[in-house]
């Protein structure tokens, strides 16, 4: 008989989880996501509640309280299902079913239940809690402040090799991650790459704040400095690639009306390179990223092995890939190190899960394009914000070629997808609902406030 028990929680973890859970229930809706943001940045997977052999990390506990709040306060009023919601649903269901068939065990099914709980829980939370641009802007501003102490911890870890979060478990106290004689800071994350990607994924959103008339310009500067410090201290090439891709995306702002032509030109360029190269096109990865160090050859070779062995995983995925590479992945001796989100989708659920995952990305880009057209004559901040979200999505798509998300980084991913879903449902309503609280506790729209400004 399995006994219910609470394990892996020290005194700090217990206090933290109690405060965050109560905050979820009682904070105003505008600030209700702060506990989740704080948990992502300052809590490791080492603090968890174990019930019936199910591992409830602090994030999973908070998901429960968020869902309880949403039900108790009836915060789903006005919720409209769209194509992104449907795609997320069918992708997650396919992954659960096919992974269970591949694993052929109750343990595999149990594993996918945890996956489904994370996916549906986080996605629903962000879909319900982010109703307008004011909510979204509040989150971005809060991240600018929250990242500051995290960046200090990580830069300290980079120079000393000691991780303060090690006392919580789930990460190393004495940093074992090194490269080129330098420590690689991971903070509360389970890998330095994921820590760096997390920091890089918010930079474009900070940049958009420069175009917000009502935002102190010091705030985005603080956020950008903190985020770039996190990227630097992770000493990883993938976060730098993410950062560069998002910045390049922002630089194409002036060509936003010609993006269709640019996409076709890029596709034509890739086809031409594939025709003239002796090696497969994906071997450009180590050539392009080799200057940043890392295991870029491994990533290219992994893709080659996946194509060579497609018969093993195309239908329902596979539970054994150790023979693909000359080395297995740490303690998981039956698996190669799958450092590719797309291949990870295929290996856990076959081609169907992979295609559904890619379909989610496609309709998200379509949602961004639709929103940009609807806001063509809207406020500049609104348009830049939508464009920056698209740039973050693009950067994720590129870095998925070299990393999989397996810790609290998934929170920022579902935050992005849910935000795109919220915006694309009715762009004008999303941006029209913004309200600014004045000293006399009245609320006015941005248009009304703008009319009151000097010179109007």
What is the chain's percent helix, strand, coil content, to nearest 5? 70, 5, 25
Task: State which H helix or E strand residue 221 sits in.
Answer: helix 218-233
DSSP 8-state assignment for residue 159:
H
Query: Cα separation of 31 and 145, whole Å?
Result: 14
**Is residue 181 within 8 Å of 72, Cβ to Cβ?**
no
Angle in degrees, 0-180, between the axes of helices 192-200 and 133-160, rounded to the nearest 10: 140
Output the furthest CA–CA distance in the chain (Å, rounded): 75
pLDDT at position 394 is 97
Residues of the chain with pLDDT under 50: 1-6, 435-456
Structure tokens at 172: 């190393």
* Contact indicator for 431, 281 with CB cutoff of 8 Å: no
Cα(221)–Cα(218) distance, integer angstroms: 5
Round to whole Å and give the CA distance between 203 and 217: 14
Residues 6+ apart with CB under 8 A from 111: 99, 103
Round to whole Å and give the CA distance between 299 and 398. 13
Radius of gyration of the chain (CA): 22
Please provide the size of the chain in residues: 456
Looking at residue 409, its pLDDT comes to: 96
Output the pTM of the full model. Answer: 0.91
Phi, psi of 179 (to 5 degrees): -160, 125
| pLDDT value of position 449 | 38
SS3 261: helix
């Amino acid at each position: 008989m399995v006994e219910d028990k609470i394990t892996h929680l020290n005194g700090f973890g217990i206090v933290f989880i109690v405060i965050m859970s109560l905050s979820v229930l009682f904070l105003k809706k505008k600030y209700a996501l702060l506990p989740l943001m704080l948990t992502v940045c300052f809590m490791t997977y080492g603090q968890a509640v174990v019930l019936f052999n199910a591992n409830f990390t602090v994030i999973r506990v908070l998901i429960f309280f968020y869902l309880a709040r949403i039900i108790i306060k009836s915060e789903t009023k006005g919720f409209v299902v769209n194509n992104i919601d449907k795609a997320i649903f069918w992708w997650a269901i396919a992954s659960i079913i096919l992974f269970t068939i591949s694993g052929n065990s109750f343990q595999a099914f149990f594993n996918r239940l945890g996956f489904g709980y994370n996916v549906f829980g986080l996605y629903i939370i962000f879909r319900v809690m982010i109703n307008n641009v004011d909510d979204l802007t509040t989150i971005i501003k809060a991240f600018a402040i929250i990242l500051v102490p995290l960046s200090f911890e990580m830069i300290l870890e980079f120079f000393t090799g000691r991780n303060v979060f090690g006392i919580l478990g789930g990460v190393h106290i004495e940093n074992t991650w090194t490269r080129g004689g330098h420590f690689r800071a991971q903070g509360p994350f389970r890998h330095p790459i994921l820590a760096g990607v997390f920091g890089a994924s918010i930079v474009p959103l900070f940049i958009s704040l420069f175009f917000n008339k009502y935002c102190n310009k010091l705030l985005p500067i603080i956020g950008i400095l903190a985020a770039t410090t996190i990227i630097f201290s992770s000493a990883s090439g993938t976060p730098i690639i993410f950062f560069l891709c998002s910045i390049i995306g922002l630089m194409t702002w002036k060509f936003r009306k010609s993006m269709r032509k640019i996409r076709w030109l890029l596709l034509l360029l890739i086809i031409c390179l594939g025709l003239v190269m002796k090696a497969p096109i994906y071997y450009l990865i180590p050539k392009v990223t080799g200057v940043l160090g890392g295991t870029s050859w491994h990533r290219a070779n992994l893709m080659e092995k996946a194509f060579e062995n497609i018969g093993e995983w195309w239908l329902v995925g596979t539970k054994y890939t150790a023979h693909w590479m000359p080395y297995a992945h740490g303690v998981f001796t039956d698996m190669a190190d799958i450092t590719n989100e797309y291949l990870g989708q295929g290996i856990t659920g076959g081609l169907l899960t992979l295609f559904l995952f890619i379909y989610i990305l496609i309709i998200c880009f379509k949602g961004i394009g639709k929103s940009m057209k609807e806001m063509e004559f809207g406020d500049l901040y609104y348009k830049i914000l939508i464009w920056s979200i698209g740039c973050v999505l693009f950067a994720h798509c590129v870095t998925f070629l070299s990393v999989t998300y397996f810790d609290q980084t998934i929170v920022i991913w579902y935050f992005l997808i849910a935000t795109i879903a919220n915006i694309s449902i009715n762009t004008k309503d999303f941006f029209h609902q913004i309200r600014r609280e004045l000293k006399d506790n009245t609320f006015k729209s941005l248009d009304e406030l703008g009319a009151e400004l000097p010179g109007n």
